[in-house]
A and B are shown apart, each in its own frame.
Chain A
C-alpha cells in the first residue's frame, strides 16, 4: 500500500463541512483556495461533492442539531477518508465550550485525524496541517 499512499498524498481533494462554525474559519478556508496560496501545486483541490473527497475540512464546534448530518456526511464519503478539524473549535471548543447545545464528545460524531488550531488558523497553518498528513501518508 506504500505506492498507493504516495499517490494519495499527492492528490488530496478536500470537501468543506461546516459543523456550526462562527464562519471565521470558513472565510480562512476560502482564502486558502485563492491563487495567492495556490494549493493546486500540492495537488489539493476543492470538490463540491462528498463522493469525490479525500479529506473533510470540518470547521466549528459540532452542536446537537448538525451532529446527525455531520455523521451522515462522513458515512457518505468513500473510504479511505481523512478528517481535518480546522480552528480551535473541533479540538477545544474555544469560547463555546460551556454552551448548552454542543455535543458532549466530538470524536464520537466524526473521528478527527488531524487538528489545525487557531481562531481562525492562517492559511499557512492549514497548509502545514496538510503537509503533516502527507508526511504520515508518505511514511
Chain B
C-alpha cells in the first residue's frame, strides 16, 4: 500500500515536472508572439534543464553550504507534495481533513526556502532579493488566506479539497457568485506574486538584482530552481481551478473543459505578465494591504451573507 502511494507521488511529481516544462514553453512562446518574435522551440526548456544538470556547481566560500544545497531540493519536495495533493483531489477525488490548510502552509514554506537559499550565499544582491521576498510574502499571504476563505465558506465550511469539489458539483461553481468573482481576481494576482511572475518579480529583478536569490546558484541546483518555477505554473493555477471552477471531470467532453479552465488562468497570467512592468516593493505592499486586503475582506463578508 505504501509502495503504491510512493509510486503515485513519483508519478504526479514527474508528470507535473514534464507538464510544467511544456507550459513554460507556452509562456515563452506567447510572450514572444506578443513582442512580434518567433520564440523558442518546443523542447527549449528541456534543453535548458539538461544543460544545467551537466554544469559545474560552485559553492561560495563565505556561504553556508548545506543550506545553499538543501534550499532548492527542499523547495522541490514542497512543490512535489503540493502538486500531488492537488492532482489527487482533482483526478482521484480523495483528500484528508484540512488538506487545504496544509497546501497553504507548504506554499508559504516555498517562499521561505527562497529566502533561506538567497541569504545562505553571503552575496549582497542575493540578500537584498531575500529581503524583498519576505516583504512580498507579508503582502500576498494575508490576501491569499482571505481568498481561500471564500470557497471554504461557500461550500459550508469544508476544509477538504475533494469536499470543496463535491459541494461545487452540487451547488454550482464558486466563481458564479459576486464574492467568488472578487476572490478569483484577487487570487489570480496572489498566484502571480507567489510564482514571482512579472509584475511581481521584485525579488528576482533581473536588471537590478541579477536574479536576486538565484544569483550564486549554478549547475544542477539552478536547474532545480528553474524546474520549481515551471512546476508552480502548473500547481498554483490548478489550485485556483479547484477552488473556484469546481475541479474537472475527466470523461468525454470534460477533458476539453478541464484544459480550457486551466488555459484561461494561464493565458490571463501570461497577458498580465506581458502588459505590466515591474512594480516597486512599496507599491506592491500598498496594493496588497490597502487595496487587495479590504476587497478580500468584503468578499469574505459577502460570502458569509451568501451573495
- A-side residues, CB < 8 A to B, are 4, 7-8, 10-11, 35, 38, 40-41, 43, 47-49, 51-52, 54, 76, 78-80
A14 smallest CB distance to B (angstroms): 13
Whether A35 and B35, one on each chain, are in contact in the complex, defined by CB atoms closer than 8 angstroms, is yes
Whether A48 and B206, one on each chain, are in contact in the complex, defined by CB atoms closer than 8 angstroms, is yes
Contact A80-B55, Cβ < 8 Å, known A10-B47, A51-B216, A51-B218: yes
Whether A76 and B37, one on each chain, are in contact in the complex, defined by CB atoms closer than 8 angstroms, is no
B91 smallest CB distance to A (angstroms): 32
B276, CB-defined interface residue at 8 Å: no
B170, CB-defined interface residue at 8 Å: no
Chain A residues near B218: list those with CB within 8 A. Answer: 51-52, 78
The distance in angstroms between the C-alpha atoms of A8 and B207, with both chains bound, is 25
- B-side residues, CB < 8 A to A, are 28, 32, 35-41, 43-44, 47-48, 50-51, 54-58, 206-207, 210-211, 214-219, 222
Q: Which of the residues A4, A11, A52 comes within 8 Å of B211, measured between beta carbons?
A: A52
Whether B37 and A41, one on each chain, are in contact in the complex, defined by CB atoms closer than 8 angstroms, is yes
Chain A residues near B35: list those with CB within 8 A. Answer: 35
Which A residue's beta carbon lies closest to that of B58? A78
Which B residue's beta carbon lies closest to that of A75? B58
Most chain B CB within 10 A, of A41, A43, A52, A54, is at A52
Tally of contacts, chain A with chain B, CB under 8 A:
76
The distance in angstroms between the C-alpha atoms of A52 and B51, with both chains bound, is 11
Additional A-B contact list (9), CB under 8 Å, known A10-B44, A49-B214, A78-B56: A7-B47, A10-B41, A35-B37, A38-B39, A40-B38, A41-B39, A43-B47, A47-B211, A80-B56
Chain B residues near A47: list those with CB within 8 A. Answer: 211
Chain B residues near A10: list those with CB within 8 A. Answer: 41, 43-44, 47, 51
Whether B51 and A49, one on each chain, are in contact in the complex, defined by CB atoms closer than 8 angstroms, is no
The distance in angstroms between the C-alpha atoms of A35 and B55, with both chains bound, is 28
Whether A51 and B217, one on each chain, are in contact in the complex, defined by CB atoms closer than 8 angstroms, is yes
Q: Which of the residues B37, B58, B210, B215 comes within 8 Å of A40, measured between beta carbons?
A: B37
Chain B residues near A52: list those with CB within 8 A. Answer: 211, 217-218, 222
Chain B residues near A80: list those with CB within 8 A. Answer: 55-56
Which B residue's beta carbon lies closest to that of A46? B206
Whether A76 and B38, one on each chain, are in contact in the complex, defined by CB atoms closer than 8 angstroms, is no
Chain A residues near B56: list those with CB within 8 A. Answer: 78-80
Chain B residues near A8: list those with CB within 8 A. Answer: 51, 54
Most chain B CB within 10 A, of A4, A7, A54, is at A7
The distance in angstroms between the C-alpha atoms of A79 and B58, with both chains bound, is 10
A18 smallest CB distance to B (angstroms): 15
Chain A residues near B211: list those with CB within 8 A. Answer: 47-49, 52
Give the 8 A-B residue pairs with the shortest CB-CB distance, closest first. Answer: A48-B210, A78-B56, A51-B218, A78-B218, A38-B37, A11-B47, A10-B47, A11-B51
Contact A43-B219, Cβ < 8 Å, known A4-B50, A8-B54, A78-B57: no
